[in-house]
């Protein structure tokens, strides 16, 4: 049984692996810990990162909170953002890149400012999460203000299918709610107030 | 019987004022601080409380593994609740954060730690804010003594729920599990002795001190004491968290508390303890299993984090397996080859089954892949995929085979030839017709 080669999806450069043609520039020296004299860091970002560093016996523990702070300020973990964190924490940008690429909440490519995580895991998909995700993409997928991302279990299976809009858990969602979410965000209102998880009573009461 | 969920929706319970006024908040911490650490530990051990995060290891015993002495010791609360189907810690922390802080402080006193962290998954942003506010209140009221306690937010990785990966994430690295031993009790956070416990486990500590360890041990069954918050989700009428006494029949949880499957359908199968637990078919034999650690283990599954995911008869088992396998492929950290490759190839094989390119022999290969992941990695993430997928093939082999045949017809490839098992341990021999 032969498989038709045209069915195998390939990138433009002909490989099934993304990014192999973006080779590292081997003539360049590796990026070192940035020099504070030539790396401007916004004062509030520096203060926030330093306060995180003071909480831990080993300052490197502050990496994740620091990256969160930088992502909030810059919109994504851009090379500038990583350089600023590296400068304050005295780490190499490569170390921070290794951490930022591991975790789902850090984006190393530009993204819209409003994160919409739609849960597509088992419990939610049993109740129609895939249709909700498609509707969400329809409503906000091309909107530069939004960053719609399918997410693994967000820990709110009692309101399945659900989504987290900038950290606010809403559900159970119907397809029509997706448009409402977009409108609420644009109008600066609380998102889908009647379906917010924090207002929900415990089950069985 | 409700211990943790007792009037959980009381307005203002997340504030220090209401918690102290109506719940006797922080009295047990004050009592613990007057007791010798060894006495607190003895109470916890007498209660027989088993860890509520998944492994079910006795909490008091785990705490007693920490060495005595004046070295830097740490307590870490594992609030990185990422197991699909589990949402108990979220509700507990959101509604009663002070109980967690009090429990954590008691545990820290029992093991002699003076530094503690609550590791909350990054997605629980609003819950983390609630816990942080509560913590500030407790610190301002000077209730924590010498304990230095902080909330640490993660950034979205299932693997960080594994205790050693959590420690790596807390140290600011990629969340890769470590080789055990040494166990965290001996060498954990910053190479110091570390006690790691789940949110629900720690929340039981003040309750145990109030009741007395021996009194607490009378609740539930002999080897599974106390109550448990069970998260029921999937195809049920009333999904949500329910507090049960361990040993309650599973049927009672699914049908009486959660209202049974939607529209009176039949249960095809259920995950008794999150998506990592081996699935059980929805037959009377399995629905009548008492919900406690040992009975579930005897029935071939586990109660894990206490998350029941109910799947009804309309759901295709192939789609369910694919969803499960894709989750583990995405979340595998990539450190160990059997897990990294095994999860990836299992997804590929399931996609072949779904696309009509597979033959029934692929089921045997898949079962053997699952078999070879088990026990061959640093942590149990790979096993967590192998167990549900392996049991799905075991219990629903006929449906997989029908699906393979139908998908082949659709793809125009014709029926597969009957296949013999080529591997002796690769599951039951398919019936030849």
Q: What is the pLDDT of residues A93-127, one digit of tens each?
A: 999 999 999 999 999 889 999 999 999 999 999 99
A16 within a domain of the structure (yes/no): no
Same domain, A98 and A124: no
Q: Which helix (H) or strand (E) holds B241?
A: strand B240-245
Amino acid A23: pLDDT: 67
Distance CA A172, CA A192 (A): 11
Q: Which residues in chain B touch residue A56, judged by CB atoms under 8 angstroms apart?
A: 150
A9 within a domain of the structure (yes/no): no
Same domain, A169 and A134: yes
**Tens digits of per-residue pLDDT, A41-77?**
999 999 999 999 999 999 999 999 999 999 999 999 9
Token pair for A54 = 């003071």
CATH of domain B227-312: 3.10.20.600
Mutate: best of B87, B255, B313, B317, partner A, most A CBs <10 A = B87
Q: Which residues in chain A touch residue B238, judged by CB atoms under 8 angstroms apart?
A: 203-204
Same domain, A188 and A127: yes
Domain B16-217, CATH class in plain words: alpha beta
Q: Which of helix, strand or coil describes residue B267? A: strand
Domain of A68 in residue numbering reads as 32-110
Instruction: Answer yes or no: are the C-beta atoms of B320 and B392 closer than 8 Å.
Output: yes
A87 within a domain of the structure (yes/no): yes
**CA closest to A65 among chain B residues:** B153
A60 within a domain of the structure (yes/no): yes
A8 at B interface, C-beta within 8 A:
no
Amino acid B35: pLDDT: 93
Amino acid B80: pLDDT: 93
Q: Which residues in chain A touch residue B175, judged by CB atoms under 8 angstroms apart?
A: 102-103
Which one of A92, A110, A128 terminates a domain? A110
Amino acid B421: pLDDT: 46
Q: Which residues in chain B touch residue A151, judged by CB atoms under 8 angstroms apart?
A: 123, 156
Same domain, A105 and A122: no
The residues pairing with B241 across neighbouring beta strands, listed in sequence order, are B231
What is the rounded average pLDDT for all residues in chain A? 90
Closest CA to B299 of B321, B277, B318: B277
A191 within a domain of the structure (yes/no): yes
Contacts (Cβ under 8 Å, ≥6 apart) of A19: none
Q: Which residues in chain B touch residue A160, judged by CB atoms under 8 angstroms apart?
A: 233-234, 239
Contacts (Cβ under 8 Å, ≥6 apart) of A47: none
Cis before A172? omega within 30: yes
A182 within a domain of the structure (yes/no): yes
Same domain, A102 and A131: no
Amino acid A28: pLDDT: 79
Same domain, A160 and A187: yes
Q: Looking at chain A from residue 28 to 67, which residues have their Cβ under 8 Å from any Cβ of chain B?
A: 55-58, 60-65, 67
Percent of chain A with pLDDT over 70: 95
Same domain, A86 and A142: no
A93 within a domain of the structure (yes/no): yes
Which one of A110, A142, A157 terminates a domain? A110
A204 at B interface, C-beta within 8 A:
yes
Same domain, A181 and A143: yes
Domain CATH number, residue A156:
3.40.30.10
Token pair for B105 = 């402080």
Amino acid B431: pLDDT: 52
Q: Which residues in chain B touch residue A68, judged by CB atoms under 8 angstroms apart?
A: 122, 153, 155
Amino acid A122: pLDDT: 94
Domain boundaries along the sequence of chain B: 16-217, 227-312, 321-410
Same domain, A130 and A180: yes
A4 within a domain of the structure (yes/no): no
Domain B321-410, CATH class in plain words: mainly alpha
**CA closest to B91 among chain A residues:** A202
Same domain, A128 and A168: yes
Domain CATH number, residue A46:
1.10.10.1590
Nearest to B90 among A102, A156, A160 (CB): A156
For chain A, the domain total comes to 2
Residues of chain B short of pLDDT 50, as ranges, are: 420-425, 433
Distance CA A161, CA A131 (A): 10
Nearest to A198 among B94, B239, B413 (CB): B94
User: What is the model's pTM?
Assistant: 0.91
Which one of A87, A110, A133 terminates a domain? A110
Instruction: Answer yes or no: are the C-beta atoms of A114 and A145 closer than 8 Å.
Output: yes
Instruction: Answer yes or no: are the C-beta atoms of B107 and B205 closer than 8 Å.
Output: yes
């Amino acid at each position: 049984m032969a498989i038709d080669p045209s069915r195998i999806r390939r990138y433009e450069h002909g490989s099934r692996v993304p990014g192999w043609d973006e080779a590292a520039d081997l003539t360049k020296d590796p990026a070192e810990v940035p020099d504070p004299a030539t790396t401007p860091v916004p004062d509030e970002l520096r203060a926030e990162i330093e306060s995180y560093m003071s909480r831990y016996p080993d300052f490197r523990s502050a990496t994740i909170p620091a990256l969160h702070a930088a992502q909030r300020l810059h919109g994504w973990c851009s090379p500038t953002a990583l350089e600023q964190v590296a400068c304050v924490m005295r780490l190499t940008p490569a170390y921070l890149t290794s951490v930022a690429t591991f975790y789902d909440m850090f984006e190393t490519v530009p993204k819209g400012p409003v994160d919409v995580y739609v849960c597509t895991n088992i419990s939610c998909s049993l109740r129609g999460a895939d249709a909700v995700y498609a509707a969400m993409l329809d409503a906000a997928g091309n909107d530069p203000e939004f960053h719609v991302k399918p997410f693994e279990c967000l820990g709110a299976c009692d309101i399945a299918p659900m989504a987290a809009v900038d950290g606010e858990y809403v559900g159970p969602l119907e397809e029509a709610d997706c448009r409402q979410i977009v409108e609420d965000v644009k109008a600066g209102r609380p998102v889908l107030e009647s379906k917010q998880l924090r207002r929900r009573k415990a089950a069985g009461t | 019987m409700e211990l943790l969920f007792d009037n959980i929706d009381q307005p203002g319970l997340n504030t220090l004022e209401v918690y102290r006024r109506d719940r006797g908040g922080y009295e047990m911490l004050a009592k613990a601080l007057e007791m010798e650490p060894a006495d607190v530990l003895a109470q916890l051990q007498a209660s027989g409380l088993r860890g509520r995060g998944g492994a079910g290891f006795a909490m008091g015993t785990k705490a007693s593994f920490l060495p005595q002495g004046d070295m830097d010791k740490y307590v870490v609360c594992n609030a990185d609740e990422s197991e699909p189907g589990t949402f108990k810690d979220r509700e507990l922390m959101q509604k009663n954060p002070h109980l967690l802080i009090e429990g954590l402080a008691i545990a820290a006193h029992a093991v002699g730690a003076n530094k503690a962290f609550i590791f909350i998954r990054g997605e629980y942003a609003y819950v983390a804010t609630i816990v942080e506010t509560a913590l500030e209140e407790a610190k301002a009221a000077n209730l924590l003594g010498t304990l230095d306690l902080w909330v640490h937010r993660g950034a979205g990785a299932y693997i960080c729920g594994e205790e050693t990966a959590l420690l790596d994430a807390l140290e600011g690295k990629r969340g890769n599990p470590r080789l055990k031993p040494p166990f965290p009790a001996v060498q954990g956070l910053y190479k110091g002795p570390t006690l790691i416990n789940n949110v629900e486990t720690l929340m039981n500590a003040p309750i145990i001190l109030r009741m007395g360890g021996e009194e607490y041990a009378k609740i539930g069954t002999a080897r599974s004491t106390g109550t448990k918050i069970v998260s029921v989700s999937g195809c049920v009428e009333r999904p949500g968290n329910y507090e049960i006494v361990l040993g309650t029949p599973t049927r009672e949880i699914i049908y009486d508390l959660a209202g049974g499957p939607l529209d009176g359908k039949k249960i095809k199968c259920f995950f008794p303890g999150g998506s990592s637990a081996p699935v059980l078919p929805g037959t009377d034999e399995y629905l009548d299993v008492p919900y406690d650690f040992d009975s579930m283990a005897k029935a071939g599954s586990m109660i894990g984090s206490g998350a029941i995911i109910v799947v009804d008869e309309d759901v295709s088992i192939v789609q369910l397996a694919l969803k499960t396998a894709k989750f583990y492929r995405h979340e595998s950290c990539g450190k160990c080859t059997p897990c990294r490759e095994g999860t990836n190839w299992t997804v590929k094989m399931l996609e072949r089954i779904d696309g009509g390119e597979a033959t029934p022999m692929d089921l045997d290969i898949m079962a053997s892949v699952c078999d070879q992941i088990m026990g061959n990695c640093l942590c149990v993430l790979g096993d967590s995929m192998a167990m549900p997928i392996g049991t799905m093939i075991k219990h629903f082999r006929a449906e997989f085979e029908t699906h393979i045949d139908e998908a082949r017809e659709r793809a125009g490839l014709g029926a597969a030839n009957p296949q013999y098992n080529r591997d002796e341990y690769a599951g039951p021999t398919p019936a030849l017709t």
